């Protein structure tokens, strides 16, 4: 299991007239958490795309427990429980505010796809190398 | 059961560098579908807020089957299966492209809340009146 | 001179906690106005990209006179005063609400660029053909 | 004169299918730069709103020189040249990438407004106090 924390300051553009973060904008917060989690392992999503692999989101399940608000310094906790043998990877996300209230949970599933053929593919070896020490990855 | 169809043209702002609609932007498409479904019943969400009631989203579950693309004229089909006796309402959404491919499904749950007390409340009577003919609503 | 009107309903995602459309979102409204103006001439921006030409925005000047609000059915008036001989085209936009209040003005300049070389290019002939009747275009 | 630098990582949501940051999203980058510039002076925009003052944007002028791209770590330089005696304040922004290329310039003018009366007002005294040492502010 791998867990990573990222802090994000909520800016005005993310709010709506309910005075809270617009529900559709949480996907962005989880995206940032996920990307920074990968970066902490030495993997940039940019470099994944440069390898000819894209990672489209195929499923999101989000629960909105308490609203994130303007200027909140939220913490996104991103967890990967297992590296699958094949093409799908699941990120479990939780968002907390500065008072440690759990605001939101989001489970995001992505596929590894070849950007030319647009077919599913395995996790690139360059990534397997990076995560070998953390997960028990079959090479 | 109540079903409504809305068409939306995908503009550039909704796309990302994968050449498709950014996954976080589907929430906006379902929001538009939901609002237009209510409008077709003679209910504007704006008027709901003017009654002192807000409808925050509490859960979203989205499956991304095929990507929506720039300039696609998509159809959002919004379905309400039942009007609950209490404060939670669920909208089932499906998005199709012009070729009738099913692109995306999204289940969005919202609460009726009193905007002053921020407590859950029942569906406002003004709305119950409008939907009486469609659903079997307890007044 | 060419002028076109498009109507857009303001949805919740476009608002911010000031209770009005977030200033950064007007660019989207002008984008939609511009695209629909082109479509009314038989030109889709999608087809322009398929010709290997992109039209990046190089300058925007926006004045915010009165706020657009949630559920407003705004009218975007898009005007092209002249078709330039070379690579730059300017769209003049105005946004009105249903009471005919002028809310916003936006001048957006775009370039025609070859998407492979990323160099400026002339307006594609396919577009010149379409606008010949409206503007005095040099072929 | 007062100048402040903020770094922002470009995430996927900000890009469009041209493979660059969507032109409408630069307003968000300048917003973050402006807010962090104020924070460095001990002023949060959140606290300004809590004083009953809002700062709507009344004009933006943006030039797009080179595109910001996904995963770029951009620097937003925010400059205030003078604190006006009355209700309008202008922020001059510049965005650079990691190679120190100037990507974008944006001049953003905002008003101080009383959020109840929705009339222009002077800069709140609480802010004047904070900036006294930097600018020659008339109290």
Q: Which chain C residues have any C-beta within 8 angstroms of a chain B C-beta?
A: 9, 11-13, 27-28, 31-32, 35, 44-46, 70-71
Distances (CA, A) of B3 to B37, B76, B84, C61: 8, 10, 16, 42
Instruction: State yes or no: pLDDT of B55 exceeds 80.
Output: yes
Instruction: State yes or no: pLDDT of A135 exceeds 90.
Output: no
3-state SS track over chain C: CEEEEEEEECCHHHECCCCCECHHHHHHHHHHHHHHHHHHCCCCHHHHHHCCEECCEEEEEEEECCCCCCCCEEEEEEEECCCCCCCEEEEEEEEECCCCCEEEEEEEEEECEECCCCCECCCCHHHHHHHCCCCCCCC
Q: Which of A13, A18, A19 sits opposite C22 (nearest CB)?
A: A13
Per CB-CB distance under 8 Å, the chain B contacts of C28 are: 11, 13
Contact A80, A65 (CB under 8 A): no
Cβ-defined contact of C12 to A15 (cutoff 8 Å): no
Cβ-defined contact of A28 to B27 (cutoff 8 Å): no
Confidence bin at C139 (pLDDT 50/70/90):
very low
- The predicted-structure confidence for A110-129, as pLDDT tens digits, reads as follows 999 999 999 999 999 888 88
Contact C17, A19 (CB under 8 A): yes
Residue D92 tokens, joined? 């001059």
Confidence bin at B139 (pLDDT 50/70/90):
very low
Q: Which of B24-28, B79-83, D28-32, D100-104 has the lowest mean pLDDT?
A: B79-83
Q: Please state, in angstroms and rounded to a whole number, the distance separating the CA atoms of residues A120 and C44.
A: 32
Cβ-defined contact of D12 to B22 (cutoff 8 Å): yes
What ipTM is given for this predicted complex?
0.95
Q: Which chain D residues have any C-beta within 8 angstroms of a chain A C-beta?
A: 9, 11-13, 27-28, 31-32, 35, 44-46, 70-71
Chain B residue nearest residue C56, CA to CA: B12
Greater confidence (B130 vs C115) lies with C115
Burial of B55 (0-12, 13-18, 19+ CB in 10 A): buried
Q: Please state, in angstroms and rounded to a whole number, the distance separating the CA atoms of residues A25 and A12.
A: 12
Q: Residue D21 has what DSSP assignment?
A: B
Rounded to a whole number of angstroms, the distance from the CA of A68 to the nearest CA of chain C is 12
Inter-chain Cβ pairs, chain A and chain C, closer than 8 A: 29
Chain A residue nearest residue B29, CA to CA: A24
- Among the listed residues C59, C60, C138, C139, the one whose alpha carbon sits nearest the alpha carbon of residue C104: C60
Per CB-CB distance under 8 Å, the chain A contacts of C27 are: none
Task: Report the residue of D71, D91, D98 to disrupt the A interface, i.e. the one with the largest count of A CBs within 10 Å.
Answer: D71
Average pLDDT on B87-95 reads: 96
Burial of B109 (0-12, 13-18, 19+ CB in 10 A): middle
Confidence bin at D83 (pLDDT 50/70/90):
confident
- Other Cβ atoms closer than 10 A to B19: 15
- The predicted-structure confidence for C60-73, as pLDDT tens digits, reads as follows 999 999 999 999 99
Q: Residue B54, by phi and psi: left (phi above 0), alpha (psi -120 to 50) or beta?
A: beta
Residue D81 tokens, joined? 């040249």
Q: Which of C27, C35, C71 sits opposite B44 (nearest CB)?
A: C71
Cβ-defined contact of C23 to D54 (cutoff 8 Å): no
Q: Which of C16, C24, C70 sits opposite A15 (nearest CB)?
A: C16
C: neighbours with 3+ CB pairs under 8 Å? A, B, D
Choosing among 3.40.50.300, 3.10.129.10, 3.40.640.10, 3.90.230.10, the CATH entry for A2-131 is 3.10.129.10
Residue % of chain D over a pLDDT of 70: 97
pLDDT of the residue at B38: 95
Q: Residue A13 has what DSSP assignment?
A: G
- Among the listed residues C15, B23, C130, the one whose alpha carbon sits nearest the alpha carbon of residue A27: B23
Task: Report the residue of B18, B45, B67, B119 to disrupt the A interface, i.e. the one with the largest count of A CBs within 10 Å.
Answer: B18
Rounded to a whole number of angstroms, the distance from the CA of C22 to the nearest CA of chain A is 6
pLDDT of the residue at C128: 86
Cβ-defined contact of C56 to D18 (cutoff 8 Å): yes
Contact D51, D15 (CB under 8 A): no
Q: Which residue has the tokens 């402006």?
A: D34
- The predicted-structure confidence for A22-48, as pLDDT tens digits, reads as follows 999 999 999 999 999 999 999 999 999
Cβ-defined contact of A56 to B31 (cutoff 8 Å): no
Q: Residue D15 has what DSSP assignment?
A: B
pLDDT of the residue at D108: 98
Instruction: State yes or no: pLDDT of B136 exceeds 70.
Output: no
Residue A15 tokens, joined? 């709010």
Cβ-defined contact of D17 to B17 (cutoff 8 Å): yes
Q: Which of A91-105, C23-37, C51-65, C75-89 has the lowest mean pLDDT?
A: C75-89
- Among the listed residues A120, A32, A34, A37, the one whose alpha carbon sits nearest the alpha carbon of residue A84: A120
Strands A57-64 and A102-111: antiparallel
Instruction: State yes or no: pLDDT of A139 exceeds 90.
Output: no
- The predicted-structure confidence for D40-60, as pLDDT tens digits, reads as follows 999 999 999 999 999 999 999
Cβ-defined contact of A60 to B57 (cutoff 8 Å): no
Q: Which of C18, C25, C61 sits opposite D24 (nearest CB)?
A: C25
Cβ-defined contact of A44 to D71 (cutoff 8 Å): yes
Instruction: State yes or no: pLDDT of C137 exceeds 70.
Output: no
- The predicted-structure confidence for D95-138, as pLDDT tens digits, reads as follows 999 999 999 999 999 999 999 999 999 999 888 888 887 876 55
pLDDT of the residue at C61: 98
Contact B46, C71 (CB under 8 A): yes
Task: Kindly list the domain boundaries of chain B, sorted by start residue.
Answer: 2-131
Q: Please state, in angstroms and rounded to a whole number, the distance separating the CA atoms of residues B56 and A23.
A: 8
Q: Please state, in angstroms and rounded to a whole number, the distance separating the CA atoms of residues B103 and B67.
A: 6
pLDDT of the residue at B138: 52
A: neighbours with 3+ CB pairs under 8 Å? B, C, D
Sequence-distant (6+) residues with CB within 8 A of B117 are: none
- The predicted-structure confidence for A10-24, as pLDDT tens digits, reads as follows 999 999 999 999 999
E strand or H helix at B36, and its extent?
helix B26-40
Inter-chain Cβ pairs, chain B and chain D, closer than 8 A: 28
Instruction: State yes or no: pLDDT of B104 exceeds 80.
Output: yes
Q: Which residue has the tokens 């290019």?
A: C121
Per CB-CB distance under 8 Å, the chain B contacts of C32 are: 9, 11
Per CB-CB distance under 8 Å, the chain D contacts of A70 are: 46
- The predicted-structure confidence for D29-42, as pLDDT tens digits, reads as follows 999 999 999 999 99
């Amino acid at each position: 299991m791998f867990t990573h924390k990222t802090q994000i300051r909520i800016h005005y553009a993310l709010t709506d007239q309910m005075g809270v973060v617009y529900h559709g904008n949480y996907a962005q917060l989880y995206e940032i958490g996920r990307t920074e989690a990968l970066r902490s392992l030495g993997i940039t999503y940019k470099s994944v795309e440069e390898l000819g692999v894209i990672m489209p989101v195929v499923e999101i399940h989000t629960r909105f427990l308490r609203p994130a608000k303007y200027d909140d310094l939220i913490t996104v906790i991103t967890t990967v429980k297992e590296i699958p043998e094949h093409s799908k990877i699941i990120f479990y996300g939780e968002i907390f505010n500065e008072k440690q209230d759990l605001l939101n949970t989001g489970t995001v599933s992505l596929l590894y796809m070849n950007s030319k053929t647009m077919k599913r593919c395995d996790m690139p070896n360059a990534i397997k190398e990076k995560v070998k020490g953390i997960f028990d990855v079959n090479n």
